[in-house]
Amino acid sequence: MKKPTVFIDRDGTINRDAGYINSLDNFEVYPFAPQAIKLLKDNGYLVVIITNQAGIARGIFTENFLEKIHNKMRKILQKNGTDVDGIFYCPHYKGSKMPEYAIDCDCRKPKIKMIEDAIKTLPIDRDSMYMIGDKYTDIQMGINAGCKTIMVKTGYGAGEIENDYHNWPKKPDFIADNLLLATLSILNKKI
């Protein structure tokens, strides 16, 4: 059976945005994030992470290292009795010195290939999709893919809302202080 699905950005939404995260110690999950993901999962939603990781194309870290970060994240979630259903990342940057990553790709947000790939591999109900993120590019991708969208004020969120809100051609459906409150707005049918 197809399930409602919440796509979640990673840096600045699930974990503190510390620039390009190239050490395990710099990867710090927000204290409210495991509870937010558990609430969604316990209520029958799929949870899928959608993240741009151009640090790979820029030679700052490898895909192997990114996997270590994601293992650390999943261990934290599992300790809290939950997990995500998938993680989709874009490693590309067209100015990369590594030809395999120097691609003007279709996956880098706000493009929607990561969501399309998720739909191909998971039982996602296309009519009930949400995107939560801290940057307007997350919101744009969500809108482009047919999601309801929630912008959080953690990470870059508060700054982008303060400085750029009036420039956005389409606004997010909801603005929440953080991922947990974003989650509650979905579960309480506020959006």
- Rule CB under 5 A: is residue 160 a binding residue for Mg ion? no
Pairing mode of beta strands 46-52, 3-8: parallel
Closest to Mg ion by CB, 134 vs 173, is 134
| Per-residue contact flags (x/-) with Mg ion for residues 42 to 81, judged by CB under 5 A | ----------------------------------------
Strand extents, DSSP E, 28-185: 46-52, 86-90, 124-133, 148-152, 174-176
CB of 51 to Mg ion, least distance (A): 8
9, 85, 160, 173: residue in contact with Mg ion (rule CB under 5 A): 9
DSSP assigned state of 143: H
Size of the site for Mg ion (CB under 5 A): 4
Q: In this structure, which amino acid lies at residue 98?
A: M
Residues 6+ apart with CB under 8 A from 174: 148, 149, 150, 151, 182, 185, 190, 191
CA–CA distance, 140 with 129 (Å, rounded to integer): 14
Window contacting Mg ion (CB under 5 A); options: 7-15, 77-85, 89-97, 144-152: 7-15
First to last CA, the chain: 23
Residue whose Cβ sits closest to Mg ion: 12
Active site residue 125: no
Active site residue 85: no
Identify the DSSP state of 165.
Answer: G
| Omega before 4 within 30 of 0, i.e. cis | no
Q: 119-148 mask for Mg ion (x: CB under 5 A)?
A: ---------------x--------------
Q: Give the binding range for Mg ion (CB under 5 A) out of 4-12, 34-42, 80-88, 180-188.
A: 4-12
| Sole binder of Mg ion in the list 5, 7, 8, 12 (CB under 5 A) | 12
**Helix/strand/coil for 1:** coil
Which of 5, 6, 7, 11 touches Mg ion by CB under 5 A?
A: 11
Footprint on this chain of Mg ion (rule: CB under 5 A): 9, 11-12, 134
- The catalytic residue positions are 9, 11
